[in-house]
Chains A and B, each alone.
Chain A
Amino acid sequence: MASHTPTASRRRWGSTVAGVLILCVMLFPLYWMLNTALQPDSGLLQVDPVPGSLDFSGFSKAISDQGGHLLTSLAVSLGAVAICLAISAPAAYGLARFGLRGSRTIVFGTLITQMVPGIVIANALYNSYVDLGLVNSYFGLMLADASLGIPFSIVLMRSFMVSIPGEVIEAAQIDGAGPVRTFVRVVLPMSRNSLITSGLFAFLFSWSDFMFALTLNTTDEVKPITLGIYQYIGAHVGDWGSVMAASVLSAVPAAILLVLAQKYIAAGITGGSVK
Chain B
Amino acid sequence: MTTPMPTTSTVGAQTPAKASEPASAPDPGRIARRRRLAQWGFVAPAVVFMLLFFGYPLVRNVVMSFQDYTPKTFFTGESPFNGADNWSNVFQDALFGKALWHTLVFTAGSLLGQFCIGLALAVFFSRRFPLNGVLRSLILLPWLVPMVVSGIVWRRILDQDTGVLNSFLDTLGIGGHTPWLTSPEMALLSVILVNIWIGIPFNMVILYGGLQEIPKELHEAAALDGASAWRTFRSVTLPMLKPVVTVVLVLGFMSTVKILDLILALTDGGPADATQTLGTLTYQNSFVQLDFGAGAVVGNVLILISAVFAVFYLRANRTEGK
- Knowing A13-B129, A269-B202, say if A247 contacts B149 (CB, 8 Å): yes
Among A30, A88, A120, A210, the residue within 8 A (CB) of B58 is: A120
Does B197 count as interface, using CB distance less than 8 angstroms?
yes
Any A CB within 8 A of the CB of B9:
yes
Asked if residues A19 and B132 are in contact (CB atoms below 8 Å), the reply is: yes
Contacts of A75 in B (CB 8 A): none
User: Which residues of chain A have C-beta atoms less than 8 A from B302's C-beta?
Assistant: 117, 119-120
The range of chain A's interface size is 35 or more
Q: Knowing A12-B130, A150-B50, A163-B4 are in contact, say whether A116-B42 is a contact too (CB < 8 A).
A: no
Task: Verify A208–B146 contact, CB threshold 8 A.
Answer: yes
Closest chain B CB from A261 CB (angstroms): 10
Do B57 and A16 touch (CB < 8 A)? no
Ranked nearest first, the 5 interchain pairs of A and B with the lowest CB-CB distance are: A166-B5, A91-B46, A94-B42, A124-B57, A117-B258
Partner of A162, one of B9, B57, B251, B309: B9
Instruction: Report the bound CA distance from A166 to B15 in whole Å.
Output: 15
B144 near A258 with CB under 8 A, answer: yes
> Is A40 among interface residues, defined by CB-CB distance under 8 A?
no
What A residues does B200 contact at CB under 8 A?
A: 26
Task: Establish whether residues B39 and A179, one from each chain, have CB atoms under 8 Å apart when the complex forms.
Answer: yes
- Chain A residues with CB below 8 A from B91, complex form: none
Number of A-B contacts (CB under 8 A): 320
Residues of B within 8 A of A108 (CB): 314
Is B129 touching A127 in the complex (CB atoms < 8 A)? Answer: no
Contact of A15 among B38, B39, B58, B129 (CB under 8 A): B129
- How far does the alpha carbon of A128 sit from the alpha carbon of B135 in the complex, in Å? 46
Inter-subunit contact B42/A90 (CB<8 Å): yes
21 contacts between A and B (CB under 8 A): A14-B129, A46-B167, A91-B45, A93-B42, A110-B50, A117-B302, A120-B57, A120-B58, A123-B286, A123-B295, A124-B61, A166-B9, A179-B39, A208-B148, A210-B148, A210-B261, A230-B265, A247-B152, A258-B138, A270-B209, A273-B248
Residue with the greatest number of chain A CB neighbours at <10 A, chosen from B41, B138, B167, B292: B138
A163 to chain B, nearest CB (A): 6
Other A-B pairs, 8, CB within 8 Å; known A100-B40, A113-B50: A12-B128, A29-B197, A90-B46, A91-B45, A98-B43, A110-B50, A251-B146, A265-B137
Please judge, given known A-B contacts A100-B36, A100-B39, whether A124 and B56 are in contact too, CB under 8 Å. Answer: yes
Query: With A94-B39, A111-B314 given, is the CB distance from A124 to B60 under 8 Å?
Result: yes
A30-B142, A90-B42, A123-B61 known; A274 and B209 CB under 8 Å? yes
> In the complex the two chains form, what is the Cα distance from A178 to B35 in whole Å?
10
Q: What residue of chain A has the Cβ atom nearest to residue B155's Cβ?
A: A233
Cβ of A91: which chain B residues have Cβ within 8 Å of it? 42-43, 45-47
User: Nearest chain-A residue to B306 (Cβ)?
Assistant: A115
Complex contact A123–B47 (CB within 8 A):
no
Selected interface stretch from B92-100, B105-113, B156-164, B180-188: B156-164
Chain B residues bordering chain A, tally (CB within 8 A): 107
- Quick check: is B222 within 8 A (CB to CB) of the other chain? no
The CA of A170 and the CA of B286, in the complex, are separated in Å by 53
Tell me, rounded to whole Å, the shortest Cβ–Cβ distance linking B2 to chain A: 5
* Cβ distance B152 to chain A, nearest Cβ, rounded Å: 6
- Chain B residue at minimal CB-CB distance from A209: B146
Residues A170 and B8 in contact, CB atoms below 8 Å apart: yes
Which residues of chain B (99-157) have a CB below 8 Å from chain A?
121, 124-125, 127-132, 135, 137-142, 144-150, 152-157
Quick one: given A120-B57, A166-B7, A226-B148, are A179 and B42 in contact (CB under 8 Å)? yes
CB-CB contacts of A108-141 with B at 8 A, as 1s and 0s?
1111111111111111111110100000000000
Q: Is B260 an interface residue (CB 8 A)?
A: yes
On whether the beta carbons of A257 and B144 are closer than 8 Å, the reply is: yes
A45 in the interface (beta carbon within 8 A):
yes
Which residues of chain B are within 8 angstroms of A26 by Cβ–Cβ distance?
139, 142, 197, 200-201
Asked, given contacts A99-B15, A273-B247, whether A165 binds B2 with beta carbons under 8 Å apart, the answer is: yes
Distance of A214 Cα from B258 Cα, bound (Å)? 16
The answer to whether A274 and B247 have CB atoms under 8 Å apart is yes
Chain A residues contacting B61 (CB-CB under 8 Å) are 120, 123-124
B128 surroundings in chain A (CB, below 8 A): 12
Given the contacts A97-B9, A103-B11, A243-B152, A117 and B144 also touching, CB distance less than 8 Å:
no
Give complex CA distance A76, B29 in Å.
45
Decide if A54 is an interface residue (CB 8 Å cutoff): no
